[in-house]
Structure 1
Amino acid sequence: MAKHMVARSVVVDAPAKRIFDLVAAPSRHPELDGSGTVQSALFGPERLEADSEFGMDMKMLGLPYRMTNRVVEFEEGRLIAWKHVGSHRWRYEFEELPQGGTLVTETFDYSRGQVGFYILSGAPARNARGIERTLERLKELAEAEEAAQA
């Protein structure tokens, strides 16, 4: 893995499109978030696309704050990433597998900006745990929605 990135993956028994649609809907982010920081969607489109901006109510260490994000990477059904003022990125990649299901990889890329601050604050380890829980939630939601459509 590249230096100053944290990534985890999970195989989800659902098509990439269904999973991508969950991640591309900012209103669903509080349901997906495994870190406990994303509280609610403030503004933005119903569905993200290239250069979309969206705002979220956040909370960390008991302190509420607001974050504006901008989509900086976008390939329909395959890749979506956004950044905020801190310049690090949250990226989701979706790869349909030949045997069925989709490999979903979430990456926290903190290689831009205040690398030392992120390391000293313990953010890489904290974000790794949050990513793991987020991917568990994403898997549960996508598979439940897929089963409901069957």
Structure 2
Amino acid sequence: MSDREVSASTVVAAAPAEVFELLADPRRHREFDGSGTVRTAVAGPPRLGPGARFGMAMHWGLPYRIRNTVVEFEEGSRIAWRHFGRHVWCYRLEPVPGGTRITESFDWGPSLSPWALEKWGAPARNLASIRATLRRLSDILGGPA
């Protein structure tokens, strides 16, 4: 973990493969998005893989579209993407008794302007969104057994 990264974890009752299938399907991202900004997938493959590019319709004050690229991919255990700003959203999955530990992180270290993200409060806002996302994933996939 870098000094410009925030993350949180939760445990769900689903197997890592089931969790990964949900995360790798951009058409389902709105279901678990805790930020409230994701609307729908507008371009890209139905299942993400290494280097995949996918576009999303978003809304934060105003509607906009963003294009993401998968920058980390380990089938069943890790998926991360970034957009033109270069900050990275990552999901790591770890099998645990009765389910999967999901850790989501937001790393603004690679950003084109990390200082601006800090000034605008992006780390704290993204940490709150991560926690909301993890609650939604737990609702969808079931809490720990």
Name the TM-score class by shorter chain.
Answer: over 0.9
Q: Point out where structure 2 has 5 or more consecutive residues left out of the alignment.
A: none
Q: Is the 8 A contact 1:5 1:108 kept in 2?
A: yes
Deviation, 1:75, is 0.3
Alignment equivalent of 2:103, drawn from 102, 105, 112: 105
- Given the two structures, how large is their TM-score scaled by the length of structure 1? 0.91
Map 1:1-150 → 2, pairs under 5 A? 1-60=1-60, 62-97=61-96, 99-112=97-110, 113-143=112-142
Q: 2:26, 2:46 within 8 Å by CA — same for their partners in 1?
A: yes
- Report if aligned partners of 1:10, 1:103 keep a CA contact under 8 Å in 2: yes
Once residues 130 and 107 of structure 2 are traced to their aligned partners in structure 1, the CA distance between those partners, rounded to angstroms, is 12
- State the 4+ residue runs in structure 1 displaced beyond 6 angstroms: none
Matched AA of 1:133: A
Query: 2:77–2:94: 8 Å Cα contact kept in structure 1?
Result: yes
Q: Measure how far apart 1:105 and its partner are.
A: 0.3
2:69 aligned partner, one-letter code = R
> TM-score, structure 2 length as denominator?
0.95
Distance in 2 of aligned mates of 1:104 and 1:50: 20
How many pairs were matched up?
142
Counterpart Cα distance in 1 of 2:107 and 2:140: 25
One-letter identity of the residue aligned with 2:18: R
Identity value in percent: 48
Across the aligned residues of Structure 1 and Structure 2, the Cα RMSD in angstroms comes to 1.1
In 1: Cα distance, 2:58 partner to 2:119 partner: 21
For the residue of structure 2 that corresponds to 1:71, the secondary structure is: strand
3-state DSSP class of the match of 2:51?
Answer: coil
Find the aligned partners of 2:103 and 2:23 in 1 and give their Cα distance.
12
Give 1:111's aligned amino acid.
Answer: G
Question: In 1, Cα distance between the equivalents of 2:71 and 2:2?
Answer: 19
Secondary structure of the 2:142 match is helix
What is residue 148 of structure 1 aligned with on the other side? none
CA contact (8 A) 1:22 1:142 kept: no
